Amino acid sequence: MIKLYVGNKNYSSWSMRPWVLLTQAGIAFEEVVVRFDSFSPDSRFKQTLASLSPTGKVPLLQDGALVVWDTLAIAETVAERFPEKQLWPQDATARAHARSICAEMHSGFTGLRGNCPMNIEASLPERGALIWRDNAAVRADVARLVQMWTALLQRHGGPLLFGEFSIADAYFAPVCMRLKTYALPVPEAISAYVERVSNLPGVKAWIDGALAEKDFRDFEEPYRLHR
């Protein structure tokens, strides 16, 4: 059976993507949670992953002798392994578009990711308001998301970015969590998409797991002294 190594569900946006993808697609896998203690070379987290991955990071997919690290590589591998799940859009043009926006998320949106780290348990509208007021990069990233998602929902008719669930929705699920946590202002149609993603069984299962952890990591939340 496939093994998927993930970090703390409350914080690990990279881990969330393949976990949601596998769960929502109904692909059986064994979950291995590697708790964030620290990211120093002598941490239990790094020691656990050192023998498995050259990067020492999560997520990590293991399938027998095959080891795949990096979220996008994992998504592509799963799509190849389970073609019947149709995890990319079937239309070639839509498929290329879906790959493009996932790659854009993979390497971009650094303003949003850096200033609004994923924290599913938290509700931080006041912090979000300050970030929105003071950070042009966050406003620009959200504007790009609104433009992207609006165009895709209109083109494909919803309810998700390419109609049915795809890797693209799994890839942007952590962004949906950020928009909710920090209450960043978006149009009603975008809020509705965020809620539809949040209510997908695979996403809801991850959220439930994050809320059940109750594992405050101070180095992940420098903006909060305690819960």
| Residue 224 within a domain | no
Q: Are residues 138 and 166 in the same domain?
A: yes
Q: How far is CA 212 from CA 10, 120, 225, in A?
A: 9, 11, 20
Interval 51-77: pLDDT, tens: 888 888 999 999 999 999 999 999 999
Alpha helices in the chain (DSSP H): 13-25, 44-50, 71-81, 92-107, 110-115, 125-134, 136-156, 167-181, 188-198, 201-213
Q: Are residues 165 and 115 in the same domain?
A: yes
Contact 129, 66 (CB under 8 A): no
How much is the pLDDT for 53?
A: 86
Half-sphere exposure of 203 (CA within 13 A, CB side): 22
Distant-in-sequence, close-in-space partners of 86: CB < 8 Å, separation ≥ 6: 164
Q: Are residues 139 and 172 in the same domain?
A: yes
Contact 61, 74 (CB under 8 A): yes
Q: Are residues 78 and 177 in the same domain?
A: no
Among 85, 107, 142, identify where a domain stops.
85
Q: Are residues 191 and 122 in the same domain?
A: yes
d(CA 1, CA 210): 24
Supply the CATH number for residue 103's domain. 1.20.1050.10
Task: Give strand pairing partners of 164.
Answer: 162
Supply the CATH number for residue 28's domain. 3.40.30.10
| Residue 214 within a domain | no
Q: Are residues 123 and 202 in the same domain?
A: yes
Number of domains comprising the chain: 2
Q: Are residues 79 and 118 in the same domain?
A: no
d(CA 112, CA 68): 27
For residue 110, the enclosing domain spans: 92-208
CA angle 141, 145, 148 (to 5 degrees): 135
Contact 181, 131 (CB under 8 A): no
| Residue 38 within a domain | yes
pLDDT band at 220 (very low <50, low <70, confident <90, very high): low
Task: Give strand pairing partners of 103.
Answer: none
CA 148 to chain centre: 17
Task: Give strand pairing partners of 63.
Answer: 66
How much is the pLDDT for 50?
A: 86
pLDDT band at 48 (very low <50, low <70, confident <90, very high): confident
Interval 129-157: pLDDT, tens: 999 999 999 999 999 999 999 999 999 99
Interval 10-42: pLDDT, tens: 999 999 999 999 999 999 999 999 998 777 888
- In the 8-state DSSP scheme, what is residue 69? E
Q: Are residues 80 and 174 in the same domain?
A: no
